[in-house]
Structure 1
Amino acid sequence: MNTPLDWASLVGLCGTACIIGAYAYLTLAKATNPFLLHGTNLLGAVLLTVSLLYHTNWASLVLEFFWAGIAVIGLVRAWRGRVPEGEQG
């Protein structure tokens, strides 16, 4: 492997860290905050997409498109299911 560690690779590594961190959080936390979980996954997918647009890998780019889509669905569901302030019982 002779690929330099350029800005796009560093952005991709940050995205990878986000996705791994979100998975660890989901696995290890007793209770999870869906906004934190899906938001971190979405950030990771976006960062990896930026990296993949520079260093194109079509299979990984498709994966990140779906990963981001699932994260957006999770955020929308969490937003719709939240309890407004003052109505918590």
Structure 2
Amino acid sequence: MNPAAALETALQQASDTANAALEAAKAARIELEKFFGTEAGRKFPLNAQGEMLRAAANTYNAARTAANEAQDALFVFKHPDAD
């Protein structure tokens, strides 16, 4: 594989992986919110619930940023003259 094709493949894989991480983080956040609506979830102290929800939100935001950056890198590689 030539270097340009290898780079494009790597960028595409990074984008795909970041998007999968974004979907997994979103699902985890939703399931966490559902869990805290259950009897077992309500037994967690409120500060622990808040910390877990904050961590889930931060994970989602980091995954979203990674997905956006990976997509930007791939776009710039494919369209180096685009503004």
TM-score range (shorter-chain normalised) is 0.5 to 0.7
**Which structure has the highest helix share of the two?**
2
Aligned residue pair count: 56
1:45, CA displacement in angstroms?
0.9
Q: How does 1:29-48 map to 2 (within 5 A)?
A: 33-48=13-28
Map 1:2-13 to 2 at 5 A.
none
Write the distance in 2 (CA, Å) between the matches of 1:80 and 1:38.
12
Greater RCO (Cα-Cα under 8 Å, separation 6 or more): 2
- In the TM superposition, residue 71 of structure 1 has moved relative to its aligned partner by 0.9
Equivalent position of 1:63 in the other structure:
55
* Preserved CA contact (<8 Å) 2:18 2:66: yes
Amino acid at match of 1:76: N
In 2, Cα distance between equivalents of 1:37 and 1:60: 24
User: Of the candidates 75, 78, 81, which is equivalent to residue 84 of structure 1?
Assistant: 78
Higher CA-based Rg = 2
Runs of 4+ with deviation above 3 angstroms: none
Give ranges in structure 2 of 5+ residues lacking alignment: 1-9, 37-48
2:22–2:64 Cα contact (<8 Å) kept: yes
TM-score by length of 2: 0.55
Match of 2:34 among 47, 54, 60: 54
Query: Is the 8 Å Cα contact of residues 41 and 67 (structure 1) preserved in structure 2?
Result: no
- Contact 1:35–1:78 under 8 Å retained in 2: yes
